[in-house]
Amino acid sequence: MPRFDVFHHPEDRHHYRAGEHIFQQGDDGEYLYDIVQGEVTLERDNRTLTTLTQGDIFGEVTLINNTRHSVSAIAKVDCEIAQISKKRFLFMVDQTPNFAIRVMQVLAERLAQETAKHD
């Protein structure tokens, strides 16, 4: 997956302890999240869907679709996560074509992985 490293400003970074929820299924989507360090588990209805690692992003679907989170994100280990506001995310998509393409690549890769599971 493409790695994102443009959001590593100190003011964007937040720390989560192992087992701590970053957000819960059904919460409003307010941020794009980029894993600076650590691992995050995505769960739906208390079932693990995937584990993301350093450089992976998540939360982008809610910003694009204006929906609530369909999964919960839980720190698997102590994590440092960059949180990017919806306003900043939309600005980056609008003003930085390479960023928008990288987000689309993440979405396309996730769709391909899900499709492969059902083949």
Q: How far apart are CA 90 and CA 83, in angstroms?
A: 14
Q: Which residue has the higher pLDDT, 119 or 3?
A: 119
Q: Which residue has the higher pLDDT, 38 or 6?
A: 38
Global pTM value = 0.87
| Residue 3 confidence (pLDDT) | 55
Residue 111 reports pLDDT greater than 90: no
For 1-9, what is the mean pLDDT?
58
CB atoms within 10 A of CB 57: 21
When pLDDT is cut at 50, 70 and 90, the band that residue 96 belongs to is confident
Give the Cα-Cα-Cα angle 25, 87, 71 (nearest 5 degrees). 10
Q: Phi, psi at residue 49, to the nearest 5°?
A: -100, -45
| Residue 1 confidence (pLDDT) | 47
When pLDDT is cut at 50, 70 and 90, the band that residue 69 belongs to is very high
| Residue 8 confidence (pLDDT) | 63
Q: Residue 79 is inside which H or E element, if any? A: strand 79-85
Q: Outline where the chain has alpha helix (H).
A: 60-65, 86-95, 97-117
User: What is the average pLDDT value for the chain, to the nearest integer?
Assistant: 89
| Domains of the chain, each with CATH number or no CATH | 10-117 (2.60.120.10)
